[in-house]
């Protein structure tokens, strides 16, 4: 009968690493932080023109302000001094009066309120002079960049949602894979026991010996010895042996 060497059972596949869990947690934590930073940065960027503009006093002194054509510009006053009898006059580089449009929507940056705005038709030096019953500080600055604020807000929210969901999915998938592996192979599956050196090959179809049992063909140290062969009868003519 032909025999075939028995191949030991294949070792268990490598357990999925914790890299997916770690990356998932990092995405869930870092992603929202980045999104919040984007929102805050866009908010500060949209109002930086107002906060960094020079401050003037409504004492009637004319001030030269360089403006860019097409960029909405506003008169920002403390405590809405526009409603307290303050009047502002704006002239363009050619000396023509510029019509101020009173803001219908309240916009506040810090303690400054938008009281009137206009859109320069040409770039150059504009003259602004404000007078009132009381001397109040004001600033000539660009309007709040609503598009910049909205864009940063949308990008920040999307960053938070996408990174958090991606990290959560990666964390769940990795945890499920590791759990399935543990359920199938155990915490540490034993390595297969190779046949003893010099043992005969295992016949095809025979079960692999259990742990602690000698391999096929190897002598069994606990097996009883085989009985000795019976003595041969005496040959004719020979003297019988002692009884």
Please state, in angstroms and rounded to a whole number, the distance separating the CA atoms of residues 159 and 21: 20
Q: 87: left (phi > 0), else alpha (psi -120 to 50), else beta?
A: beta
Are 33 and 156 in contact, with CB atoms under 8 Å apart? Answer: no
**What's the rounded Cα separation, in Å, for the pair 217 and 200?**
5
* Domain range list for the chain: 19-41+150-182, 49-144
Find where tokens 């949308």 sit: 154
- The pLDDT profile of the chain, 243 residues, written as one tens digit per residue, is 555 555 555 566 788 888 888 999 999 999 999 999 988 887 777 777 888 889 999 888 999 999 999 888 989 888 656 556 678 899 999 999 999 888 777 778 888 888 888 999 999 999 999 987 778 889 999 887 777 778 888 889 999 999 999 999 999 999 998 888 888 877 765 555 555 555 555 555 555 555 566 655 555 555 555 555 556 666 666 555 555
**Under CATH, what is the fold of the domain 49-144?**
Jelly Rolls (2.60.120)
Predicted TM-score (pTM) of this structure: 0.51
Q: Which two tokens stand for residue 68?
A: 């860019």
């Amino acid at each position: 009968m032909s025999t075939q060497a028995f191949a030991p059972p294949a070792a268990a596949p490598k357990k999925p690493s914790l890299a997916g869990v770690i990356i998932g947690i990092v995405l869930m934590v870092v992603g929202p932080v980045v999104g919040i930073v984007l929102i805050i940065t866009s908010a500060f960027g949209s109002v930086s023109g107002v906060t960094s503009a020079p401050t003037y006093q409504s004492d009637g002194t004319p001030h030269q302000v360089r403006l860019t054509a097409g960029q909405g510009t506003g008169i920002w006053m403390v405590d809405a001094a526009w409603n307290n009898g303050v009047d502002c006059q704006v002239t363009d580089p050619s000396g023509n009066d510029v019509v101020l449009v009173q803001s219908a929507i309240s916009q506040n940056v810090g303690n400054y309120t938008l009281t009137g705005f206009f859109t320069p038709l040409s770039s150059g030096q504009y003259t602004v002079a404000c007078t009132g019953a009381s001397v109040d500080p004001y600033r000539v600055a660009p309007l709040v960049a609503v598009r910049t604020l909205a864009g940063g807000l949308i990008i920040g929210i999307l960053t938070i949602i996408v990174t958090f969901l991606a990290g959560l999915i990666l964390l769940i998938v990795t945890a499920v894979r590791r759990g399935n592996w543990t359920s199938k192979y155990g915490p540490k599956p034993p390595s297969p026991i190779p046949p003893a050196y010099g043992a005969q090959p295992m016949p095809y179809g025979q079960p692999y010996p259990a742990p602690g049992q000698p391999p096929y063909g190897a002598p069994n140290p606990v097996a009883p010895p085989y009985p000795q062969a019976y003595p041969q009868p005496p040959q004719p003519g020979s003297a019988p042996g002692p009884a």
